[in-house]
A and B are shown apart, each in its own frame.
Chain A
Amino acid sequence: MNGGADLGGMMGFGPVAPEADEPLFHAPWEARALGMVVALGACGQWNIDAARSAREDMHPGDYTRTPYYAIWLKAAKRLMVEKEMLTEAEIAQGVPLIAATPIKRRLAAEDVDAMLSAGGPADRPEQGEPAFAVGDQVRTINDHPTTHTRMARYARDKVGTITKVHGFHVFPDSNAQGQGEDPQWLYQVAFSARTLWGAQGREGDSVTLDLWEPYLRTVL
């Protein structure tokens, strides 16, 4: 979606504000939010693409002004309500009012290390051959889905060069909507700064994006 999360190239946010000796968490609730969101992911009720979709589906003004861990919590609550794990009334009152929904697993403390260590690889057994090879020129699609996509707006309908074939990876546009992983070939594509930004781009500078085959068309 063309939402508030798709920030590449936007203006008006002011300078970057690096914080000297920044603490890992700025308040205890941030740490709890991180731990809860990671633990909830292990419940298996949604995938990472659905989580990203829920996080970015906010009013753009709210998105750009909300602290990151608050965005995470807001999305987690929304997903739990959608999956009928919680009701709005339960969130408001802070007590269980209806029976819990069966979940795939409840992460135990002794399983945390193994869960974090295993991660969640996104590559899948390869099917067929990649359509593009390193050095090929491609044009990105000019498509504006209302649902989740990783085809960033600033790089749509632009000609770039394949610089790496990463492998065969879960396709977020499908996975985020619960329509299956639909894995696709994933490439690193390099775009010159001039192609992306015109006169504002510096000659010689470039930006790479990692893009799935359905986002790419052959340049004849």
Chain B
Amino acid sequence: MTSHDHDHDHSHLTETEARVRALESLLSAKGYIDSAAVDRIIQTYETKIGPRNGAHVVAKSWVEPEFEAWLRRDASAAIHSLGYHSRQGEHIEAVFNADDVHHLVVCTLCSCYPWSVLGLPPTWYKSPPFRSRAVIDPRGVLAEFGLTLAPTTRVEVHDSTAEIRYLVIPQRPEGTEGLTMDQLAELVTRNAMIGTGLARAPQVAS
């Protein structure tokens, strides 16, 4: 990138910042929003609502068969019971990966995503390459995430076209028998719960 391009990008960003600040001031002046409420919303997604919530759900399903059964039967109720019941998580389906099936979640029409358990979606989830190709070429998309499935594993893609949000329950990695629920949750990545990854293998003690 040349210095000219850099300057251009920088001034463009500054212009956007200024325009968005001006809009916020205007909306506050007209009494439509309170900037302290905007701060609070941002803080909530920065500190309270994120993929650790979903990782807890997954780890609990790995160690508690009754909870797993509840997730399969009524994921909304099971997840809400853990206190994860905020917006964009009102109605949830949990889909379970197994040796013969791998689930992948997308929203081809916008950016529907289970905020209550995964937080805000990453940019790639909301962008045209993923949204266009996840349904027609899911294996090609998975390969771009470094994930190659066995040919005998079928792929089931879930296009979130309604207010149902999908949470992938990845398979529990091998060699995790002795781990606590908290240790197991550490292995559950955000991408594993979207279906663009797998749960991490535990670190082998050296």
Contact = CB atoms under 8 A, between A and B. Distances in A.
A86 interface: yes
A102 B157 CA distance: 44
A112 B90 contact: no
Nearest to A112: B40
B33 interface: yes
A36 B132 contact: no
Nearest to A85: B32
A81 interface: no
Interface stretch (B56-64, B107-115, B169-177, B178-186): B107-115
B91 A68 contact: no
Contact of A119 (B85, B108, B132, B157): B85
A208 interface: yes
Interface residues of B, number: 76
Nearest to B197: A18
B37 A112 contact: yes
B190 to A, nearest CB: 10
A6 interface: yes
Interface string B51-91: 00000000000000000000000000000000001111111
Interface in B114-159: 116, 119-120, 122-124, 126-133, 135-139, 141, 144-145, 154-159
Contact of B110 (A52, A85, A119): A52
B129 A96 contact: no
A214 B129 CA distance: 30
A119 B162 contact: no
A10 B91 contact: no
Given A35-B39, A202-B139, A108 B34 contact: yes
Interface residues of A, number: 92
A112 B20 contact: no
Given A16-B144, A36-B23, A95-B26, A150 B161 contact: yes
B201 interface: no
Contacts of A85: 30, 32
Given A122-B90, A122-B163, A202-B139, A96 B30 contact: yes
A106 B133 contact: no
Contacts of B126: 68
A22 interface: yes
B109 A152 contact: yes
A208 B145 contact: no
Given A52-B110, A188-B164, A24 B156 contact: no
A118 B89 CA distance: 10
Contacts of A26: 123
A8 B159 contact: yes
Q: Point out which of A19, A190, A206 has the most chain B C-beta atoms below 10 A from its C-beta.
A: A206
B128 A13 contact: yes
B41 A5 contact: no
Interface string A101-121: 001001111011100111111
10 contacts: A16-B129, A24-B119, A31-B42, A96-B29, A103-B32, A106-B31, A111-B37, A119-B89, A152-B161, A207-B157
Given A36-B33, A119-B116, A150-B162, 7 more contacts: A16-B124, A18-B191, A18-B196, A52-B109, A100-B32, A154-B108, A200-B136
